[in-house]
Amino acid sequence: MVETQAFEWWRGASLYQIYPRSFLDTTGTGIGDLPGITDRLGYVASLGVDGIWISPFFPSPMHDFGYDVADFCDVDKIFGSLADFDHLIATAHELGLKVVIDQVYSHSSSEHPWFTESRSSKENPKSDWYVWADARPDGTPPNNWLSIFGGPAWTWDARRQQYYLHNFLSTQPDLNLHHPDVQENLLSVARFWLDRGVDGFRLDAINFGMHNTSLADNPVADTEVWCGLRPVDMQKALNNSNQPELLTFIERLRNLMDQYDSRFTVAEVGGKQSGDIRKQYTNGSGRLNSAYGFEFLYLSELSSQTVADILQAWSNQSGNSWPSWAFSNHDVVRAHSRWLQELSPKHRASLITLFLISLRGNIFLYQGEELGLPQADLSLDDVKDPEALRNWPHTLGRDGARTPMPWHSTEENAGFSSARPWLPISDDHLNHASDSPLGGEIRDVVTQLLSLRRESPCLKWGDLVDIKSDGETLSYARTSGEQRLNVFFNFSGDPVRLGLINTSSVLAMVSADGFSAEFPEELPPWSGILYYPDIDSV
């Protein structure tokens, strides 16, 4: 372990993701707001996390619920004001919580003033701030690039008599980060929020920040990679994302961050071939601090071999390359509805959390994960997600992970709002409400496990070594200096003999019987254990 790692607050940190629309409504609009977040920061701090990550709260027409930003340096009035944000920051810091916010640098809203000016003519000062291209001779888009949300990644604009690029919705035009003025303005955006006291940034879809200026077609994806649900998955996104020139901007951003004390950057990097990109973005001391992908977010079940492969791909790296991991977030089906469905909610949540705290890197806990929330089941009439509306019923969408937090099991709208919530609250979520017996029991275990991680150098900063998969058992070790912590999971319905002496010191064990610190002769079905081996058995 590098000795200075103990002084980097973000290394090994646990961050709690808050989706503002669905956390707590204090104004009776049915939509969560910044004062609602501030009101519940004491609750978040009690979990023992190191900080929060807040999804976008900037002015937006909300076509993609905040990820289509119309003003990078303000707060949308539905969430409150800059003064509300300043109060949130101050309160969080008083409670010892760091505050990380989203920054969306790959695209803006089509209602952003930059795009309004850019589309007005081919000669205006911002004409090249977005990605414009002429039609092919037959009038079709300039290449075969596809949008994540379906259809071509190009939309015709009659004013410019050109197509503009959008890797997501047509109302989310891609910024041209090749342009130095765009970079300068985005760095000014970063400086604006850093000056307000934020402790870090999560960089949304940053690998889409630059495109191949040759506009070459994307090649066909390997058949084993294509999941069969979306046309975009039938291509390798080689030319509309993951461009090496983006590293220059990343280094400029890191240089800016280093002018402030102890600031943190984590990149979201999607795509099937994102592993090497994440390592590039975080390698050395002059790039981002961390990055995460979607391996666990898209994983349909906990298979020991699949998990071993994921961990092996980024177990230890030279330089400062440091991963982050999330099992659930606002874009995917909650882990508690994907994994270990044969288990009781408390058993499942305990085992998933034990696995999460055992990983090398930073960990994200999505709001409601500490209560064991499953995915909400919504009808088509309730769906708001543009991706789901385009692809129903093959894509159930993201709304089921975005429904409001259930604070009180017996109050109207689960205590989230005095008005009808923007998304309905699942009846099943009332059983997991923060004040319910089940929600409270799960939260207590999650809090206890997070405390163990926070206090263990092996878990917080250590290396991850000796990864092995044998049938449905998974094992590895976390090491820090001379200390070693063994990790063993049994993802099967049969007990497994550990073959180890009983004098080993157990840090934590989770099984159907609950949380334990006793060393067993055999590991029960569907269980996990973290233990320090007896020195004579190493």
- Strand 522-523 relative to strand 496-497, pairing: antiparallel
Q: Confirm whether 518 is a catalytic residue.
A: no
Task: Identify the DSSP state of 134.
Answer: P
The Cα 396–Cα 400 span in angstroms is 8
268 is catalytic: yes
Q: Specify which residues 474 forms β-bridges with.
A: 469, 489
Burial 74-107 (b: 16+ CB within 10 A, else e): ebbebbbeeebbeebbebbeeeebbbbbbbbbbb
Rounded to 10 degrees, what is the CA torsion of 370, 373, 375, 380?
A: -120
**What's at 92, amino acid-wise?**
A
Catalytic one among 268, 370, 385, 399? 268
C-alpha 34/C-alpha 41 separation (Å) is 11
What DSSP designation does 241 have? S
**Which listed residue (25, 68, 204, 295) is catalytic?**
204
CA-closest candidate to residue 204, choices 295, 330, 390, 298: 330
What SS3 state is found at 128?
Answer: coil
What's the rounded Cα separation, in Å, for the pair 380 and 382? 5
Q: Using CA atoms, how far apart are residues 369 and 376, in angstroms rounded to an integer?
A: 13
Residues that are catalytic? 204, 268
